[in-house]
Structure 1
């Protein structure tokens, strides 16, 4: 496994990811508190809440909403990694044909029968399927409008991000000194421990299944990863990661194992584990077997990742989840030892 460290700050990723994180602030805040037992720095939280008063974030409500599967149409990881700046990124997005964008939307919504559509009746079929999904009236209207005219919405999103850019620059400037200190801290850890340092705290990503691990530094992320099915993975870690490492170091074996049992005490998560024990599965398969939405599957997967109970791998356009049997065996062995069974 080859570790490739990208020390040059990726402004394109920074502006797009920060817009998404701020837009979904309550979602990410809850995820950090429930999944990682972490909270944002008080000053950063105040800054984000102040930014959220800007009407820009109301305008961009549905573009990057975490409950909208279509968010990758606008924040497209593939285009991010092959673009040098914002102008080139939106040039790539704009070059996509309406048919290509529409098929991408159908893939993300998992409308399999519409991917190779041949006639205009696809709108009626799409409407019928959207009506059955767990969206309110405005969200359904937005999805149908997006399917009808995706390039119009790409243009709207482009203008929105350009409007957001000065706000991002101000935020970046404020936290740049702290960011440089964070990078120095990571560099010291890597020089001491090498890739084992990253692997220890990102065991749920299963880094060793990849030939190349591209490590990138960020300001606003905790941990974000992108795998394109080519046996390489791109990871972004941000300022909060340092606090996460310190918290993990202070946990003893009992705390770590109790967290595993806490995660498994939820019936839905336990049912997901039982499905994955039999076979690796993707989100829609799990949702159909349990009679829940794919958004609910993703919500519970975050907890299972945090406890290192599942791993993830991209195959074609789908993300497949697998059980980490070794972590479960450790949990069982721990109980046997502690309770002298």
Structure 2
């Protein structure tokens, strides 16, 4: 498998907008994973401009980027050679000229990854059977009205969606430059790209995929995209339309420590921190015997699907849960092998204390 590290500036805007609408979520995830995150002056200024905008197109784009960024990422261009940078202007120009193809990939990803449709249903929708996705959108309780509207428009009226999205991106680009966030991000990521060697990229990718049990396609290149806006990117692996990618934050080395097969003291601390959370403990107990999907877990713990999904995301980052897709549902299970390693580490500490 060919590893292609690179930098796509549009990814930074997607990440920043995600923080704009889900600040409390990112703060919570950063806490759970030990990533104390305090946004810098440039990010604050960008967010202030975004949140103060009364333009509906911008508000809609922010909701969409925040809620389904693992799918809208496929509006981007991706590097075809290691170390290549794709400026924001190039991504917007390319999107304008190739919108129909990009929209088709985004729709496919939304149906497979966000609405949990089967591959068969996704193909039917792309062929013109919109009843399937309409029903799925109505049941997507964790998506805002803006996002569900955009999904429907993207499928039925791609030309109108194109105009709205390109306008929003042009305005967000202005905020991105005026805030100074563009210069700060680019300078840091370009420097980071120069420091890594090809074998290091391969090692990071292999460890990442193995730790999370991800089966990447060997016949396709794997894009490693760096971003600097957030310490926690909120997007591990995504694949559609013969494209697969991983997005890393500046703290991927800290996440790499969590991925280490040897349970370090810090990993143990993060495990105990998350285990002390009542909701996470309820979820782990609920999936200890049988796999369950989000709706079931939501009823068990008495919280919204969006809240349960957040907790599952954190537990997945620590590899305490695994997932599998079955038609329209994603089932979550307890990763007993990972839990056994952590418990053995606790036993070692106990034995050391006894001696």
Which residue does the alignment assign to 2:282?
271
Say whether the 8 Å CA contact 1:3–1:215 is kept in structure 2.
Answer: no
How far apart are 1:4 and its partner, in Å? 0.5
Change (3 A) 1:66 1:30: farther
How far apart are 1:11 and its partner, in Å? 3.3
Which residue does the alignment assign to 1:6?
5
Which is worse superposed, 258-267 or 283-292? Answer: 283-292
Which residue does the alignment assign to 1:234?
245
1:270-289 equivalences in 2 (<5 Å):
270-288=281-299
Rounded to whole Å, the distance in 2 between the matches of 1:244 and 1:120 is 40
- What's the RMSD between the two structures over aligned residues? 5.0
Residue 170 of structure 2 corresponds to residue 162 of structure 1: yes
Q: Which runs of 5+ in 1 are unaligned?
A: none
Rounded to whole Å, the distance in 2 between the matches of 1:328 and 1:76 is 34
How far apart are 1:309 and its partner, in Å? 0.8
Q: Which runs of 5+ in 2 are unaligned?
A: 80-89
Which residue does the alignment assign to 1:89?
95
Residue 344 of structure 2 corresponds to residue 333 of structure 1: yes
Say whether the 8 Å CA contact 2:19–2:26 is kept in structure 1.
Answer: yes
| Deviation sequence 1:301-322 (CA, Å, 0-9, x none) | 1221232212345677765544
Which residue does the alignment assign to 1:220?
229
Which residue does the alignment assign to 2:193?
183
How far apart are 1:55 and its partner, in Å? 1.3
Which residue does the alignment assign to 1:65?
63
Residue 72 of structure 2 corresponds to residue 76 of structure 1: yes
Change (3 A) 1:14 1:320: farther
Change (3 A) 1:27 1:57: farther
Say whether the 8 Å CA contact 1:79–1:92 is kept in structure 2.
Answer: no
Say whether the 8 Å CA contact 1:225–1:235 is kept in structure 2.
Answer: yes
Change (3 A) 1:22 1:183: farther
TM-score, normalized by length of structure 1? 0.68
Say whether the 8 Å CA contact 1:228–1:314 is kept in structure 2.
Answer: no
Using CA pairs under 8 Å that are at least 6 residues apart, name the structure with larger relative contact order, 1 or 2: 2
1:1-341 equivalences in 2 (<5 Å):
2=1, 4-7=3-6, 9-40=7-38, 42-52=40-50, 54-55=52-53, 60-65=58-63, 71=68, 76-80=72-76, 85-89=91-95, 108=114, 133=141, 142=146, 151=157, 152=160, 155-169=163-177, 170-185=180-195, 187-188=196-197, 191=199, 195-198=202-205, 204-207=211-214, 211=218, 213-221=222-230, 222-223=232-233, 224-228=235-239, 233-241=244-252, 253-288=264-299, 290-312=301-323, 319-340=330-351
User: Would you say how many aligned residue pairs link Structure 1 and Structure 2?
Assistant: 325
Which residue does the alignment assign to 2:84?
none
SS of the residue corresponding to residue 36 of structure 1 reads coil
